[in-house]
Amino acid sequence: MDQFVEFARNHWGLFLALVVVVALLIGNEVMRLLRRYREVTPAEATNLTNRENAVMLDIRDPKEYREGHIINAKHVPLGELDRRVKELERYKDRPVVAYCRTGQQSARACALLEKQGFQPVYNLKGGIQAWRNAHLPVTKE
C-alpha cells in the first residue's frame, strides 16, 4: 500500500488521469443501467420488425435519408422530433427502433421517445453503418 501512495505522489498527473477514466467508466455504466431503452444489433432489429411489427425510425437529416435508409423506415430528423412526435403517436404501442448514422444521436431520440410514453424503445447499435455492414437491405425510395 505504501508503494501505491508513493506512486500517486510521484506521478500525480497519471494518478489523476486514472481517477478520471475510472469515474467516466463508472458513470457510463450507471447511465447505461438507468436508461430504459436498450441497444439492439441489426439482426435483433430485423427480428423485432418481422416478429413484433417494430417501427424503424430514421432520425438522420434529409440528405442522409435520401442517400439510403432501411425499408419502410419512418423519417423524422432528430432536430424536429420534439415537435413532430405526434406523427408517431399511432406507433406508441409497437416497438420502435431508432437509428442514425452510428447509433450515437439515436440514443437521444430513444430518451425523448421514452419520455413521451413510447414503449418499448430500442437504439440500433452502430446505426445504419452497422446495418449496411451486416449486408441488410436499404432503399433510396
Listed in sequence order, the residues at least 6 apart from 65 whose beta carbon sits closer than 8 Å to its beta carbon are: 58, 75
User: Among residues 48, 81, 100, 130, which one is catalytic?
Assistant: 100
Asked about 110 being catalytic, the answer comes back as no
Q: How far apart are the first and last CA of the chain?
A: 65
Query: How many Cβ atoms are within 10 Å of 112's Cβ, its own excluded?
Result: 17
Residue 111 sits at φ, ψ, to 5 deg, of -60, -40
* CB-based burial label for 109 (10 Å; 0-12, 13-18, 19+): buried
Cell numbers placing 31:
447511465
For residues 25 and 109, is the Cβ–Cβ distance under 8 A? no
For residues 128 and 138, is the Cβ–Cβ distance under 8 A? yes
Catalytic residues, by residue number, are 100
